[in-house]
């Protein structure tokens, strides 16, 4: 009887999903083609395929020799069905679906820490201000040993995050190893609602120049956060802006439209959506801004810029509202709707495609190659390097690298504002291409060693550098040059520490060759320990070759916008 009940549940879920997929594919009631016995290719009716599936389930349930995990079988069946469609239609079991909804709501229930995977476990990088973890004193460098009595020393960071999250008001006990403490420390923390804002940071990066890092996805609060950040920066004298969308995985369509509307005149097309079902007739979304910002604008993108963030970048580029700097974006132009299934599971299903204001498709081809190649962008990894001009003036970074050439366009040429021509079918190609800081195996080892060394430094355990001990995190403070300077004494202490650290596998010659990178990583780590993760991120931005190039491009962005407003074309 119990098996029969489970079978009803699995059948109900599969029937519901099949109805969704059938409605998306079309009303012809024809599904995938199969090869007949004679070798000819024919279309089979959906009813016939459905009977095959039901017969297979019945046969397995009645005849399989072992125990059947029906929940696992359901997940595999649904995800297998979705994987035949495209890379972005996905099934979400209960816990993953709950996390998806939490992310869209811009908050979740947890303890309030950012964690990072290192060579021997998961460590706390920073506690978030005004969260349970910060109030109880969890800090930079605490290694997580146990979560609620479960050994977490070999867990990846994803598993630690999953175990630490939970219901609001529920306690979780964390056991940590802290540098300078003879015994492990235990913290019992009551989970609270933790903010998960879209904007990582916003501040005046230069006099008159604002920076906004909208890097954490497009959620329900994204435009509200952006408007607050813009108003704050204008009060501080902002006359031009760099909007950072690097690593932004996308999110809610309406928020991408609202964010674009902050910079585009009212009534300009932001994106069009074409597909089936509710998109059988193309839907054109236009800017709703009444008083858009007219400051010179540069948008930063990279290979992790996807979906909704590509919509924003594409709209800015098509209309000539600003310049795009960085790397070619991911190329996700498929629209997913979220469907909730029985028992609080769910799926995202592709229902349409995005197109930029002038008609470029954002979607990169996924018909050949593996899903792994599609996700990690081997097409760009394999591109040979080509010479490019270095940034002029005094903003050039010693860490900058040559950008790869753009991929051959796979879509038709599209003429946009000011007569500029772009191509669809491969994400957003930046106006100015430049690679980020490169991470070689040696630099990876330096970064790891810098963290392990700074863990001792911030605990006051490095002889002669006790003044670098961090007694308390000072949130909201911008690091000055006199705060925890990376002096020759610090560098020499790091050299000595590396010599004694067998696991680092670094030589003195390697440190000398990468001395500027060594100083940068040490500075980023100690500022993170002293002033929080956001302050540490600013240290890296100060030496970021893409950001430095974006700052240099602001005058050109201003000229482009003026050209578009005057109605002339670029030569």
Which are the catalytic amino acids? 307, 318, 332
**528 SS3 class:** helix
Where do we find the tokens 């300009």? 268
State both tokens at 552.
């240099």
- The total number of residues shown for the chain amounts to 571
DSSP string, 200-261: EEEEEEETTEEEEEE-S-B-TTHHHHHHHHHHHHHHTT--EEEEE-TT---B-HHHHHHHHH
Distance CA 110, CA 168 (A): 8
- Print the SS3 string covering 270-320: EEEEEECHHHCCCEEEECCCCCCCCCCEEEEECCCCCCHHHHHHHHHHHCC
CB burial class (10 A; 0-12, 13-18, 19+) of residue 103?
Answer: middle
Distance CA 458, CA 462 (A): 9
Contacts of 239 (CB under 8 A, 6+ apart): 208, 209, 295, 296
User: H or E segment at 521?
Assistant: helix 515-531
Torsion angle in degrees (nearest 10) through CA of 326, 436, 369, 72: -110
Distance CA 90, CA 192 (A): 29
Contact 403, 434 (CB under 8 A): yes
Distance CA 458, CA 531 (A): 12
Nearest one of 292, 201, 296, 187 to 239, comparing CA atoms = 296
State both tokens at 64.
């399989």
State both tokens at 528.
């993170």
Contacts of 228 (CB under 8 A, 6+ apart): none
Contacts of 471 (CB under 8 A, 6+ apart): none
Q: Report angle CA 74, 75, 78 to the nearest 5 degrees.
A: 80
**419 SS3 class:** helix
Torsion angle in degrees (nearest 10) through CA of 48, 53, 58, 60: 140
Contact 254, 227 (CB under 8 A): no
Torsion angle in degrees (nearest 10) through CA of 301, 305, 311, 316: 0
């Amino acid at each position: 009887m119990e098996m029969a009940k489970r079978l009803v549940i699995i059948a109900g879920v599969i029937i519901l999903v099949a109805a969704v997929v059938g409605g998306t594919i079309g009303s012809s009631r024809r599904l995938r083609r199969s090869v007949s016995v004679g070798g000819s290719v024919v279309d089979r009716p959906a009813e016939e395929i459905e009977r095959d599936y039901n017969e297979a389930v019945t046969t397995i349930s009645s005849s399989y020799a072992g125990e059947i995990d029906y929940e696992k079988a359901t997940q595999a069946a649904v995800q297998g069905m979705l994987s035949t469609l495209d890379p972005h239609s996905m099934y979400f079991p209960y816990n993953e679906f709950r996390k998806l909804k939490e992310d869209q709501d811009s908050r979740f229930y947890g303890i309030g820490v950012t964690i990072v995977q290192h060579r021997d476990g998961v460590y706390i990088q920073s506690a978030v201000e005004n969260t349970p973890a910060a109030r109880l004193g969890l800090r930079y460098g605490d290694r997580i040993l146990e979560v609620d009595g479960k050994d977490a020393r070999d867990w990846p960071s994803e598993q630690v995050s999953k175990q630490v999250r939970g219901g609001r008001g529920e306690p979780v006990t964390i056991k940590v190893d802290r540098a300078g403490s003879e015994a492990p420390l235990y913290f019992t923390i009551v989970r609270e609602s933790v903010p998960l804002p879209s904007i990582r940071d916003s501040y005046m990066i230069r006099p008159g120049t604002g920076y906004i890092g909208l890097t954490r996805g497009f959620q329900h609060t994204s435009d509200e956060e952006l408007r607050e950040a813009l108003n704050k920066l204008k009060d501080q004298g902002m006359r031009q802006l760099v909007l950072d969308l690097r690593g932004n995985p996308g999110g809610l369509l309406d928020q991408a439209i609202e964010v674009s509307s902050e910079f585009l005149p009212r009534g300009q097309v932001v994106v069009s959506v074409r597909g089936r079902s509710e998109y059988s007739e193309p839907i054109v979304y236009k800017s709703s801004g009444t008083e858009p910002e007219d400051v010179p604008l540069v948008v930063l993108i990279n290979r992790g810029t996807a979906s909704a963030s590509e919509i924003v970048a594409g709209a800015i580029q098509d209309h000539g509202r600003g310049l795009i700097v960085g790397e070619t974006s991911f190329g996700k132009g498929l629209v997913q709707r979220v469907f909730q299934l029985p028992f609080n599971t769910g799926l995202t299903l592709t229902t349409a495609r995005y197109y930029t204001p002038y008609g470029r498709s954002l979607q990169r081809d996924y018909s050949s190659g593996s899903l792994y190649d599609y996700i990690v962008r081997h097409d760009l990894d394999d591109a040979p390097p080509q010479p490019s001009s270095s940034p002029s003036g005094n903003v050039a970074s010693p860490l900058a690298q040559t950008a790869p050439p753009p991929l051959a366009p796979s879509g038709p040429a599209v003429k946009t504002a000011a007569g500029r021509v772009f191509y669809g079918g491969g994400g957003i190609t930046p106006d100015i291409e430049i690679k980020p800081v490169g991470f070689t195996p040696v630099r990876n080892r330096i970064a790891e060693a810098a963290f392990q060394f700074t863990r001792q430094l911030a605990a006051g355990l490095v002889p002669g550098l006790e003044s670098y001990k961090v007694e308390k995190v000072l949130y909201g403070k911008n690091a000055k040059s006199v705060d925890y300077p990376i002096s020759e004494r610090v560098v020499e202490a790091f050299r000595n520490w590396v010599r004694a650290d067998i696991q680092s596998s670094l030589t003195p010659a390697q440190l000398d060759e990468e001395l500027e990178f060594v100083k940068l990583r040490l500075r980023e780590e100690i500022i993170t320990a002293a002033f929080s993760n956001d302050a540490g991120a600013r240290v890296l931005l100060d030496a970021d070759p893409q950001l430095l190039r974006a700052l240099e491009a602001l005058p050109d962005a201003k000229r482009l916008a003026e050209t578009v407003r005057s109605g002339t074309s670029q030569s």
